[in-house]
Structures are given as structure tokens and as C-alpha cells.
Amino acid sequence: MKMKKNIKFYIIAWAILLALFNLIAFISPGWAAFEKYSGSFWTGYIFITLAFVGQLVCSLFAFKEDKKEKFFLSLPLITLSYTGLILTLVFGTLCMLVSFLPYWVAVIICAVILAVYAIAVLKAKAAAEISSATGEKVKAKTFFIRSLTVDCENLLAKAKSEQAKAACNKVYEAVRYSDPMSSDELSSVEEKISAKIGELSTAVIACDDEKITALADETVLLVKERNSKCKVLK
């Protein structure tokens, strides 16, 4: 809801700036000896308007992201859009003021600026998409160890006796310092680890210290096996 409100205010501010530009463009007098509304004037005006629209589109792309990470990855879009708008304003205004400038020169200048601006924006958008996709993959691949660490913390909190706490802590430390990255090749051993953690949880609830110690040792061995396979896969 807050983001939608921010978008609303942003669009209002954008509309005010565009209206101000139009007011200045059409109210201000031209050069006395030259026609104001020449080909170069309209060229500058059209390209500046396009830059305004492009800036708004880039900003909306960034604001529509619902996750903070994706929003920050899209911030370069806003920065580039402002840079492109400012450059287009400067050169476009020159084209509008210098009415005797051949329109084809104005078109080339503004088109080059707008093309460079568009390419930079597209590259930034592509980079943001790649970074976001990479981040999602890393999250997915580290989910097993992160989830397992939480399970081990819960086991440690539930353990009653000192023997049970020591055994659970051994498992917790082994998991905590494991390679966080998973892969399809590790699915078999990771399933075994999950099963052992389940058995260990049952033993902890039953306060069966001997079984807890035995299961903890077996779990640690499986974690070490997983870590060894991780090294081979890298």
C-alpha cells in the first residue's frame, strides 16, 4: 500500500515537471530574427518529451518491485533515467533555442543521446534480472543448510540432560560450519541427514540419552560425507 502511494506521488511530481517544461517551451519567446517553431525546435521538444516518458517508465519498473532486494537492484534504472533525461534536456533545449540549426543536425544529436540512454537502461535492466535470478538460485541452494541449522537449534533448546545437550550441540556445530551450497548430486545424502535429524528429534523428546548420542554421531558422519562430496563437486 505504501509503495502504491509513493508511485502516485511520483507520477504527480513527474506530471508537474512535464507541465512546467511545456509551459516554458511555449511561453518563452524565440530569437527575434528567427522563427521559433522551426524543425529543430520540434525535434528538441519531441525528444525531451520521449526522455520524460522513458524516465517515468524506468521509475515505474523499479517501484513495482514488491521485494526490497529487487527494488535496490532496480535503482540503477532510476539513476540512468535521470541522467538520460538531464542530458536530453540540455541538448534538446539547445536545439529548441537555436532555431536556425538544421533539423537533421538536431535529430542526429538527440537520437544519439536517446539511443545511448536506451541501451544503458536495457543493460541495467538485464543486469538487475540476472542478479535477481542468481540471488534466487543461491537462496534455493542454501535453503537445506539454513533450514537444518534452525532444526538443530530447536533440538539443542529441547535437550534436557547435559549429555543430550552435548550431543545435539555437536550436530549443530557440524551443520553450522557445513558448506551451505546444495546440488542435485547431494540430494541422497541430504535426505539421509534429514531422516536422522527426525529420529534425533524423537529421541530428544523421549529423553533417551544413549540413543541421542548414537544418532548424533551418525548424523555428524553423514554431514561430513556431504561436505566431502561438496568439495568433489566444486
> Quick one: 99 and 29 in the same domain?
yes
Give pLDDT, residue 65.
65
| DSSP assignment letter at 159 | -
Within-domain flag for 145: no
Write out the residue range of the structural domain in which residue 206 sits: 159-233
Q: Pick the last residue of a domain from 138, 168, 199.
A: 138
> Quick one: 190 and 84 in the same domain?
no
Q: How confident is the model at residue 84 (pLDDT cuts 50, 70, 90)?
A: confident
Give pLDDT, residue 211.
92
Write the burial class of residue 126 (CB in 10 Å: 0-12 exposed, 13-18 middle, 19+ buried): exposed
Count how many domains the chain has.
Answer: 2
Mean pLDDT of 97-118: 82
Mean pLDDT of 45-54: 91
Within-domain flag for 114: yes
Q: How far apart are CA 64 and CA 55, in angstroms?
A: 14
111: helix, strand or coil: helix
Q: Name the pTM for this structure.
A: 0.58
pLDDT tens per residue across span 177-228: 888 888 778 888 889 999 999 999 999 999 888 998 999 999 999 999 898 8
**Higher-confidence residue: 108 or 62?**
108
